[in-house]
Chain A
């Protein structure tokens, strides 16, 4: 046992030298319990051979709650205090306080998967309502309770395609605007199946139906299209893509997010088979990339969908009651023949997204989404007037993000902007990407001024 240190904060808070502050039994009770068990010392309960017993120390100091909070707060404050104009699939919208307060109710956050539905009705109803909201926004028949993130959802969509399509196809078409990181995840998710990822060129920032038609062949298993794209372009040829694929044994997968879906074309209406994307644009801020994957599809794939599903049923009194359902698809029953290996998912983020969606309501969602379409246009116009800046690069409608072309080195510009307190993406030699939402819109004038200074 180490010495108890004097507590610098002058509080009476215990250090952990007496043990874990989150273990309930004190020494006296442990002693009485050991008597009941019939051993003299705790260590006798560890049936570990001497040769591999760990006799060392981790060398991790304990600390009071107050100290940990202060130290972590100080460390995190080493993140530069800059205004982010960063997007490319990762966004913050204002999360109402209500979301924090309700989602942190400990009955929700300290529960686990609803293996005993009779005492888990609350969370099951939340997830059922979440599935309903996702179905509505994606225009799909069914939605699951969540995947880890947008990238792993896309990976799961590809393995779904492999399961449900009879065609011997092995080619997956992913446009060049999709984040490279997400494509890498797809490649890792499909190691167990014979898949080849092919990148589709999109010089205009969106699908060119003619190029797609020429690229499609009998081997094409799935075509992925983002709306908006990671570069912020609103796709104008969804209907054409849907029509092209309707005739074929090729799955049509749309990537989007819950805010964009509130305004942009309904994937169900354009013939999408699967919809994936980032669900945590509602419920969570950017969170260093942590998010939640939505996964929705046509009901033809009901028994092939990955992840958990909540269904409505009845209890023995005849009242409506909810339960996890169709579990024979899942790893704990089907093992190596499961539709996915997923067990823990992002249920609590789904809860937060649902509360956020309901807080906004349909009016609020549509108007938030409309701002996402309006703000980039305004900002692009503003910076296009700066000498040496041309924006937006693509002649298209945009959502949150747009690219700007510079007559000078993008990395240098991004770095100088950073010194002035603004972060943007530098994409290639002379292109930067800028993202604007209601969270940073109030700083656009300062941003444009800074960019103008940097470009001088």
Chain B
């Protein structure tokens, strides 16, 4: 069975790990010959002064101690770690893509055309009437969407009164945090026994204080909220808006659209659904789509097109009741450009196929593993239970099988949760390898867990110790060693 083994380095003085840049060199430079007078300059800076080959080797070695999608299966539930096409990087590297954001519209028609086309694409895919691309991440999209809802209620004279956002207990942590940042009280909604929204509890929770309900569909268990139309009526009848968290949109492409389910606002996680690289934690982008009546609240500027003597002319406008800005300029443009390229490459047929194969992969994988999966039928992801073992320990054991483990211990509705999303990128063989890892660890008793991982660049790392005595830069390591005297 193929497996990914990580590299360690023993040819340096630091055994087993790549020394820090600061351990290779630190040079102090003072700007003595500066054009500026002394009192406006700093005394000195102290940083590594290394040759290009030394730098190339440093980062290449570090990359070899890192696991990416191209290394192997990466089934983090809710993160949609699908393959990132390489050609989109070439497009993002075009010099014509990197113009200054303050150019006038006349000299930036190319960028604006792509920007506008992506707004249109996303609108069609989500069933939304208008889309802004400005939010630079999914969480930023949530904040933007909630601010749109807030402006809508204020516009209708109900801003003061509607001060609550309802969020299901199993929602992403960002939903709670974004609602709070927008100034709302968060009302937590319990799930029913089937792992879905408890419609009765929702009816009891809504009131004339409700500003919106935030929901992802399929939910974090991979289950479709079959009562979505009823849920929408309950929220709308109470005067609230329905917000769609796009984290799980990869399950639905071409099968269902949030706009058709009754959602008023949604965000798209383009780094999930549309395969832009996750980059070790970002950048992503979190465009939002809204229904007609909310368009006037979108962030400024908004890109529109008009007819100029038979030619398309792209313009920047400020929507009538705009919430203002959520990013300093136009968002994570290079990420948006890659999104546009991915959607253009796949078209209807490719997008529809991506979801089909993502859902087949999740269901096939589930059929091959021996762990309990309490809730179904699921779509692009499922949540298995590690049973009486600690899910985090279970995941560490899986690392020794050369795979990236699933998301652990969340959502809490499944005890010792292993939230698994293989995506359409995986072939049957790699799904079998992941199933082998699941089942082999499942066959072990917790007492047989052997302090895994043992085949990785670093052995098990104690995160509690790191938090108790935080060392956050190389300067602190030096101080520690100087002060420690050992």
Query: Are the CB atoms of B328 and A397 closer together than 8 Å?
Result: no
Among B256-274, those with CB < 8 Å from A are 256-257, 260-261, 271
**Bound form: Cα–Cα A57–B271 in Å:** 23
Total count of chain A residues near the partner, CB < 8 A:
194
Query: Are the CB atoms of A22 and B55 closer together than 8 Å?
Result: no
Chain B residues within 8 Å of A347, by CB: 279-283
Residue from the set B184, B224, B428, B460 with the largest chain A CB neighbour count within 10 Å: B428
Query: Are the CB atoms of A105 and B42 closer together than 8 Å?
Result: no
Q: Mark A112-149, 1 if CB is under 8 A from B, else 0.
A: 11111111111101111101110111010011011011
B447 on interface, CB distance cutoff 8 Å: no
**Bound form: Cα–Cα A292–B328 in Å:** 11
- Shortest distance between the CB of B13 and any CB in chain A (Å): 12
**Bound form: Cα–Cα A23–B346 in Å:** 11
Q: Do A136 and B45 contact each other (CB < 8 Å), given the known contacts A25-B428, A47-B224, A348-B280?
A: yes
Query: Are the CB atoms of A88 and B102 closer together than 8 Å?
Result: yes
Query: Are the CB atoms of A264 and B472 closer together than 8 Å?
Result: no
Among B33-58, those with CB < 8 Å from A are 33-37, 40-43, 45-50, 52, 55-56
A192 on interface, CB distance cutoff 8 Å: yes
Query: Are the CB atoms of B59 and A355 closer together than 8 Å?
Result: yes
* CB-contact partner of A189 in B43, B64, B181, B473, under 8 A: B181
Total count of chain B residues near the partner, CB < 8 A:
198
- Shortest distance between the CB of A249 and any CB in chain B (Å): 23
Q: Mark B323-338, 1 if CB is under 8 A from A, else 0.
A: 1111111111111010
Chain B residues within 8 Å of A159, by CB: 181
- Shortest distance between the CB of B81 and any CB in chain A (Å): 6
Residue from the set A20, A159, A337 with the largest chain B CB neighbour count within 10 Å: A20
* CB-contact partner of A313 in B96, B173, B466, under 8 A: B466
**Bound form: Cα–Cα A335–B281 in Å:** 19
**Bound form: Cα–Cα A77–B99 in Å:** 11
A109 nearest CB neighbor, chain B only: B277
Chain B residues within 8 Å of A374, by CB: 35
B377 nearest CB neighbor, chain A only: A47
* CB-contact partner of A79 in B109, B340, B453, under 8 A: B109
Query: Are the CB atoms of A312 and B124 closer together than 8 Å?
Result: no
A325 nearest CB neighbor, chain B only: B466
B452 nearest CB neighbor, chain A only: A118
Query: Are the CB atoms of B363 and A68 closer together than 8 Å?
Result: no
A166 on interface, CB distance cutoff 8 Å: no
Query: Are the CB atoms of A136 and B427 closer together than 8 Å?
Result: no
Query: Are the CB atoms of B325 and A188 closer together than 8 Å?
Result: yes
**Bound form: Cα–Cα A59–B28 in Å:** 59
Query: Are the CB atoms of B260 and A148 closer together than 8 Å?
Result: no
Chain A residues within 8 Å of B223, by CB: 47
Query: Are the CB atoms of B281 and A113 closer together than 8 Å?
Result: yes
Could you say which of A96-104, A215-223, A382-390 contacts chain B? A96-104
Chain A residues within 8 Å of B89, by CB: 104, 109
- Shortest distance between the CB of A180 and any CB in chain B (Å): 9
Query: Are the CB atoms of A323 and B463 closer together than 8 Å?
Result: yes
A286 on interface, CB distance cutoff 8 Å: yes
Query: Are the CB atoms of B364 and A288 closer together than 8 Å?
Result: no
11 further A-B contacts with Cβ under 8 Å, apart from A19-B349, A319-B459, A397-B36, are A58-B254, A62-B349, A69-B87, A78-B113, A84-B100, A188-B325, A288-B101, A290-B334, A311-B470, A334-B173, A346-B332
Chain A residues within 8 Å of B399, by CB: 116, 118-119
Q: Mark A162-203, 1 if CB is under 8 A from B, else 0.
A: 000000000000000001011011011101110000000000
* CB-contact partner of B327 in A17, A46, A151, A269, under 8 A: A151
Chain B residues within 8 Å of A301, by CB: none
